[in-house]
C-alpha cells in the first residue's frame, strides 16, 4: 500500500514536478539539444543544486513528466470504493480511468515522440512503464492476496499497460480524451478502445 505523505514529502514532490515540467516544456519547444540544465532551473525557479537532488540529467527530468501522479487520498478513495470481491481487471480498469486523463496521455504520447527523435530518451521509456506497472500492482495487492499465485499481478499489469504502446507510438489511431478530429477518419475514441481492450481480457481473444 502507498504510505501516507508528510508535508515534507508533498513539498519534495512539488519541487520534482516543477523541475520536470520545465524540462519537458523546454524539450517540446527547443528540442532536447536546445537547452541545458541551467535553463531548466532558471525556468522552474530553483538552483542547480536542487536539480541534482532529484535528477541526474535533463533526460531523466524530461521522462519524469510521463509518470502519472496519484495522491494518497485519490488512491485510498479508489481502493475503498471498490467491493472486496472486485476482480483484478475491475481494479485495473478503475485505476486507469483515474490515471489516464487526456492531459497525462498527451504528455505520454509527446514523450514517446520525443524519444524517437532523441535516442538518449529511449532508455527511460522502460522506466516509465515500469512505474505504471508498480502502481497497478500496489492497487491490485489487497484484492489478489491469497487468491492468485505469485507473479499473477506482474503478468496482468504487463499485459494491460502493454496494450497502450500502440496508442502512444502512433500504430493505432486513437483519439485521446478531449481530442477532436480535424476531419472524419477511422480514429477510435479512447474510452471505446479502453472498453474493448478490457472486454478482450475478460473474455479471451
Same-domain check for residues 55 and 78: no
Same-domain check for residues 4 and 71: no
Residue 82's domain is classified under what CATH number? 1.10.357
Q: Mean pLDDT of successive 10-residue segments in the chain (205 residues)?
A: 65 92 97 97 97 96 84 76 85 87 89 93 87 82 80 85 84 84 76 91 80
Separation between Cα atoms, residue 62 and residue 167, nearest integer Å: 20
188 pairs with which residues across the strands? 174
Give pLDDT, residue 140: 83
Cell of 109: 504520447
CA 42 from centre of chain:
26
Cell of 54: 532529484
175 pairs with which residues across the strands? 189
Same-domain check for residues 34 and 87: no
Same-domain check for residues 77 and 32: no
Residue 51's domain is classified under what CATH number? 1.10.10.60
pTM of the model: 0.81
pLDDT in tens, 26-44: 999 999 999 999 999 999 9
Give pLDDT, residue 205: 63
Give pLDDT, residue 13: 87
The pair phi, psi for residue 116, each rounded to 5°, is: -70, -30
Q: Name the DSSP letter for residue 189.
A: E
Same-domain check for residues 117 and 23: no
Give pLDDT, residue 23: 98
pLDDT in tens, 111-141: 999 999 999 999 998 888 888 888 888 778 8
Specify whether the CB–CB gap between 93 and 136 falls below 8 A: no
Give pLDDT, residue 1: 46
Give the domain extent around 90: 67-205
Same-domain check for residues 47 and 111: no
Total structural domains within the chain = 2
Amino acid at each position: 500500500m502507498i504510505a501516507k505523505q508528510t508535508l515534507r514529502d508533498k513539498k519534495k514532490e512539488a519541487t520534482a514536478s516543477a523541475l520536470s515540467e520545465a524540462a519537458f516544456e523546454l524539450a517540446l519547444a527547443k528540442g532536447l539539444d536546445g537547452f541545458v540544465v541551467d535553463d531548466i532551473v532558471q525556468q522552474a525557479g530553483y538552483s542547480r543544486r536542487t536539480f541534482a537532488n532529484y535528477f541526474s540529467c535533463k533526460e531523466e527530468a524530461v521522462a519524469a513528466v510521463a509518470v502519472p501522479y496519484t495522491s494518497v487520498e485519490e488512491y485510498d478513495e479508489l481502493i475503498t470504493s471498490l467491493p472486496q470481491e472486485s476482480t483484478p481487471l475491475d481494479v485495473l480498469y478503475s485505476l486507469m480511468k483515474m490515471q489516464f486523463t487526456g492531459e497525462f496521455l498527451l504528455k505520454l504520447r509527446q514523450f514517446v515522440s520525443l524519444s524517437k527523435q532523441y535516442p538518449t530518451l529511449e532508455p527511460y521509456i522502460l522506466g516509465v512503464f515500469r512505474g505504471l506497472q508498480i502502481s497497478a500492482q500496489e492497487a491490485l495487492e489487497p484484492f489478489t492476496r491469497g487468491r492468485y499465485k505469485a507473479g499473477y499481478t506482474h503478468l496482468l499489469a504487463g499485459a494491460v499497460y502493454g496494450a497502450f504502446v500502440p496508442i502512444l507510438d502512433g500504430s493505432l489511431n486513437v483519439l485521446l480524451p478531449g481530442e477532436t478530429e480535424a476531419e472524419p477518419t477511422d480514429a477510435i475514441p479512447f474510452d471505446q478502445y479502453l472498453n474493448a481492450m478490457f472486454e478482450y481480457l475478460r473474455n479471451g481473444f
